[in-house]
Amino acid sequence: MNNKLKVAAFFSGCGGLDLGFIKAGYEIVWANDFDKYAVQTYNLNFEHKAVCCDINQVDYRDIPNHDVLIGGFPCQPFSMMGLEKGFEDKRGTLFFKIVDIISYKKQIKQQPKIVVLENVRTLMTHNKGETFKVIKQELESLGYKVFAKMLNSANYGVPQTRNRVFIVCFLNNEIDYTFPKERKLEKYLQDILEQNVSEKYFLSERIKKTILSNGSGGYVAKSETDLQIARPLTATMAKMHRACQDNYVTQNGKLRRLTPRECARLQGFPESFKYEVSDCQAYKQFGNAVTVNVSYAIAKSILKYIEADNL
């Protein structure tokens, strides 16, 4: 493949999905996100700058021609952490903005050959499977052959249990795509911890009692610390949930929360990845991110089909 495949990225956040494709040899030609702090972090780290905008306000004529469309469309409408309203939630309808963009590109004969979308694991079971059925039908109506699978970040080199649905679509209906193979985990949470961590990350004795409690009322779950494989990072980590939901580790005999850099590592971001935002915003960005390792594995796996079928 002599020329880099051009990618348009939507709902990029701080760039986890985008970075995986860049590492695999693709070129990002357009990217966007609504969160100004996420765009700030993105633009610190990527050559092509993301546009900070509401996708509803994007002029489709401003989106350059691209071979691949990628995006982690907002997951709150389908997440167990939210109210699971699905397409009743206006954020859920943002999937249809992707459909509209592809339809527009199809009309002007610039339809992307490949589409890669990401969302929470409950997307496939939401509303007894009807939500995913609609998504699949919409993509198929645009001419794509659709493949979907839930992938766990812990099976792609990072010590974090993070199950996400990935949807990979090809215009070529002859393709029989296979998702990337899993690999053995070689690093654990303790292997990626920072040393000489600021005191602000350590828990006081007062808050520790709450953090280590097993819940109350209608919500009871076992609190555990020092896990080998981290629980899923969340966008609300800054709130410091109980240890049955967030990750806490013991260092120098004291319990502490993870640092933003450790969260970046758990999402596969390199040490060179920069962020100049508050801890609260950094936790949000890394908690929302697509794991770079998984994105890279998918991007690499797609290449062989492109080369073999001359897409």
* Active-site residue set: 75
- Residue 12 neighbours by CB under 8 Å, 6+ apart: 18, 31, 32, 33, 38, 42, 50, 71
CA distance 258 to 246: 9
Q: How far apart are the C-alpha atoms of 245 and 236, rounded to whole Å?
A: 11
Torsion angle (degrees, nearest 10) of CA 162, 190, 237, 54: -50
Query: For the CA atoms of the chain, what is the radius of gyration?
Result: 20
Q: Is the dihedral of CA 155, 160, 162, 166 positive or negative?
A: negative
- The closest of 165, 206, 200 to 279, measured between CA atoms, is 200
Cβ proximity of 101 and 60 under 8 Å: yes
